Structure 1
Amino acid sequence: MKQIIQDLNKGNTILEEVPVPKVKAGCVLIRTTRSLVSLGTEKMLVEFGKANFIQKARQQPDKVKMVLDKIKSDGLKPTMEAVFNKLNQPLPLGYCNVGVVKEVGKGVTEFKVGDRVVSNGNHAEYVLVPKNLVAKIPKEVSDEEAAFTVIGSIGLQGIRLLKPTFGETIVVVGLGLIGLVTAELLIANGCNVLGFDYDPVKVQLAKDKGVLAINPADGTDQVKFVEEYTNGVGADGVIITASNKSNDIISQSAKMSRKRGRVVLVGVIGLDISRADFYEKELSFQVSCSYGPGRYDESYEQKGIDYPVGYVRWTENRNFEAILNAIKKGGLNVSDLITDRYKLSEYNKIYGDMSNSKSIASIIEYSTDSNSDIDNIVVEKKSFHGSKGVLGIIGAGNFTSSTMLPKLKKLKAEVKFIASSGGLSSTVLAKKYSIENSTTNYINILEDKEVDIVIVTTQHNVHASMVLEILKANKNVFVEKPLALNIDELEAIIEEYKKRNLNVTVGFNRRFAPLAKKMKTYIGDNTNPINIVATMNAGFIPQNVWVHDMEIGGGRIIGEACHFIDLCSFLCGSEVVSVCMNAMGLDVQENTDNASILLRYANGSNVVINYFANGSKSYSKERIEVYSQERTLVMDNWRELKAYGFKGKSSYKTKQDKGHFNQFKELIEHQKSGGCDGIIPFNSIINTTKASFAAIESLKEGRWVDIG
Structure 2
Amino acid sequence: MKQLVQNLRTGQTLLEDIPIPQVGRGQVLIQTRRSLVSLGTERMLVEFGKANLIDKVRQQPGRVKQVFEKMQADGIRPTIDAVFRKLDQPIPLGYCNVGTVLAVGQDVTDIRVGDRVASNGPHAEVVCVPRNLVARVPNNVSDDEAVFTVVGAIGLHGIRRVNPTFGETVVVIGLGLIGLLTAELLRLNGCRVIGLDVDETKLKLAQQRGITVFNSNHTDPVKAVLTLTNQAGADGADGVIITASTKGDTVIAQSAQMCRKQGRIVLVGVVGLNINRADFYKKEQTFQVSCSYGPGRYDDTYEQQGHDYPLPYVRWTENRNFETVLQQLSEGRLDVKPLITEIVPLADYDKIYSRIGEYNGIASLLSYSGEVELTPTIVLRETHYQSHTGTVGIIGAGNFTGAILLPALRAAKADVKIIASAGGLNATLLAKKFGITQSTTDYQQIINDPDINLCIITTRHNSHAQLTVEALQAGKHVFVEKPLAIYDHELAQIIAAQQVSGRVVMVGFNRRFSPYAQKMKALLGGQRSHQLPMNVVATMNAGFIPADSWVHDRRVGGGRILGEACHLVDLITFLTGSRVVSVSMNAMGQQPAETTDSASMLLRYENGSMGVINYFSNGSKAYAKERVEVYSQERTLILDNFRKLTAYGFRGFSTLSGRQDKGHTEQIKRLVQLIRAEGLNDREQALCEPLIPFGEIVNTTQVTLAAMRSLQEGRWVDVASIGGRVLPESHD
Same fold (TM over 0.5): yes
Q: Structure 1, residues 122-144: CA drift from partner, whole Å, max 9, x if none?
A: 00000000111001001111111
Q: How does 1:292-691 map to 2 (within 5 A)?
A: 292-368=294-370, 370-385=371-386, 388-524=389-525, 525-526=527-528, 527-674=531-678, 675=685, 678-691=690-703
| C-alpha contact 1:467 1:493 (8 A) present in aligned 2 | yes
Aligned to 1:120: 120
Counterparts of 1:521 and 1:359 in 2: how far apart (Å)? Answer: 69
Aligned to 2:111: 111
Compute the displacement of 1:386 (Å): 5.7
Counterparts of 1:559 and 1:216 in 2: how far apart (Å)? Answer: 54
Aligned to 1:203: 203
Q: How does 1:183-222 map to 2 (within 5 A)?
A: 183-217=183-217, 219-222=218-221
Q: How does 1:165-184 map to 2 (within 5 A)?
A: 165-184=165-184
Compute the displacement of 1:385 (Å): 3.0
Work out whether 1:703 is the aligned partner of 2:707: no
TM-score (norm 2): 0.96
| C-alpha contact 2:387 2:450 (8 A) present in aligned 1 | no
Correspondent of 2:272 among 270, 273, 279: 270
The residue type equivalent to 1:260 in the other structure is Q
SS, match of residue 394 in structure 2: strand
Counterparts of 1:582 and 1:216 in 2: how far apart (Å)? Answer: 61
Compute the displacement of 1:590 (Å): 2.9
Counterparts of 2:445 and 2:586 in 1: how far apart (Å)? Answer: 45
Compute the displacement of 1:371 (Å): 3.2
Counterparts of 1:423 and 1:495 in 2: how far apart (Å)? Answer: 32
| C-alpha contact 1:642 1:650 (8 A) present in aligned 2 | yes
| C-alpha contact 1:185 1:331 (8 A) present in aligned 2 | no
168-177 vs 53-62, which moves further: 53-62
| C-alpha contact 1:337 1:361 (8 A) present in aligned 2 | yes
Aligned to 2:38: 38
Superposition RMSD in Å: 0.9
Aligned to 2:238: 236
The residue type equivalent to 2:258 in the other structure is M
Q: Structure 1, residues 296-342: CA drift from partner, whole Å, max 9, x if none?
A: 00100000011000100000000000000011112211111100000
Compute the displacement of 1:107 (Å): 1.2
Could you list the structure 1 runs, at least 4 aligned residues long, displaced by more than 2 angstroms after superposition.
674-678
Counterparts of 1:47 and 1:465 in 2: how far apart (Å)? Answer: 43
Q: How does 1:64-79 map to 2 (within 5 A)?
A: 64-79=64-79
TM-score (norm 1): 0.99
| C-alpha contact 1:464 1:484 (8 A) present in aligned 2 | yes
Aligned to 2:50: 50
266-275 vs 410-419, which moves further: 410-419
Counterparts of 2:715 and 2:114 in 1: how far apart (Å)? Answer: 56
Aligned to 2:728: none
| C-alpha contact 1:667 1:679 (8 A) present in aligned 2 | yes
Aligned to 1:59: 59
Compute the displacement of 1:600 (Å): 0.2
Which structure 2 segments of 5+ residues have no match? 679-684, 721-732
The residue type equivalent to 2:167 in the other structure is G
The residue type equivalent to 2:337 in the other structure is S
| C-alpha contact 1:504 1:678 (8 A) present in aligned 2 | no
SS, match of residue 219 in structure 2: coil
| C-alpha contact 2:411 2:669 (8 A) present in aligned 1 | no
SS, match of residue 36 in structure 1: strand
SS, match of residue 243 in structure 1: coil
SS, match of residue 198 in structure 2: coil
Counterparts of 2:330 and 2:372 in 1: how far apart (Å)? Answer: 32
Aligned to 2:150: 150
The residue type equivalent to 2:8 in the other structure is L
Q: Structure 1, residues 226-249: CA drift from partner, whole Å, max 9, x if none?
A: 111012611000000000111000
SS, match of residue 202 in structure 1: helix
Correspondent of 2:704 among 669, 673, 692: 692
Compute the displacement of 1:387 (Å): 6.4
Q: Quote the sequence identity (%).
A: 58
SS, match of residue 518 in structure 2: helix
Compute the displacement of 1:106 (Å): 1.0
Quick one: structure 1 residues 539 and 446, their matched pair in 2 at CA, closer, same or farther if it must change by over 3 Å? Answer: same
Q: Structure 1, residues 259-305: CA drift from partner, whole Å, max 9, x if none?
A: 11110000000111110110011101110000000000010000001
Compute the displacement of 1:603 (Å): 0.5
The count of corresponding residues between Structure 1 and Structure 2 is 706
Q: Structure 1, residues 52-110: CA drift from partner, whole Å, max 9, x if none?
A: 11111111111111010000010011111111001000000000000000011111112
The residue type equivalent to 2:659 in the other structure is K
| C-alpha contact 1:57 1:64 (8 A) present in aligned 2 | yes
Counterparts of 1:421 and 1:371 in 2: how far apart (Å)? Answer: 18
Work out whether 1:133 is the aligned partner of 2:128: no
125-134 vs 644-653, which moves further: 644-653
SS, match of residue 301 in structure 2: helix
